[in-house]
Amino acid sequence: MTRIDDTFGRLKAEGKKAFVAYIMAGDPDLATSLQVMKGMPAAGVDIIELGLPFTDPMADGETIQLAGQRSLEGGQTLVRTLDMVREFRRSDAVTPIVLMGYYNPIYSRGVDRFLAEAKEAGIDGLIVVDLPPEEDSELCLPAQAAGINFIRLATPTTDDKRLPKVLQNTSGFVYYVSITGITGAAAAKPADVAPEVARIKAQTDLPVIVGFGISTPEAAQDIAAIADGCVVGSAIVKLVGEGRPVPEVLDRVAALAGGAHAA
């Protein structure tokens, strides 16, 4: 059992949906992103998705690409990101943290070394968007063995033939990408998402969380109502990029969380 499993168990018992919030580690600087991160649980965030900056973020739209650039220009690295998690864990041993990014920085660190450091720092799950199921032996299976959930993405183009392959070694939850394309590119449509969530849930007992294209409390409520919860990323990252004060960012996070929890 990981913190992710514990969190979904608690939410299910309470009859609540999960609100997952994404920020980019080190954006616009380490101190600010850590301050936002530390304020998220009190704002209603159930699971924190922490972006690991990378030079070629192929799944990300402009908002998150720019966040990654700011982070890298500020000197953010994988090591500093894990240090950020360690600092967060000094005051919060409960809130799950999912590290989301690309394989290159992990590969460069060395898988065994990275997993040992990530587990020790307090990482609970990984989303690595450029490692397909055919590469599960690279990171997915070693991560599971280390006690870290490996969360897979399903998309509108994941057909019935492909879906079992996507699900076979997934743990923690399934992340359903609500739109075809990059982050922040379009709005999620409940009428399109609902049958896809039902299709996935027919093949797995894992929670299904929907992300991409959710930017308002109303959208968070509508999407969470047809899934086990929702993810908001670009709408939060955009505020950080605009230089909004941390309290203002957290107020918006709280409003979005309120939408999801009202589902």
Give the residue numbers annotated as catalytic, written as ranges. Answer: 49, 60
Inter-residue contact 125 to 149 (CB < 8 Å): yes
Q: Which two tokens stand for residue 109?
A: 């660190």
Phi, psi of 41 (to 5 degrees): -60, -40
What three-state secondary structure class fits 184? coil
Q: Give residue 180's Cα distance to chain centre.
A: 18
DSSP 80-142: HHHHHHHHHHTT-SSS-EEEEE-HHHHHHH-HHHHHHHHHHHT--EEEETT--GGGTTTTHHH
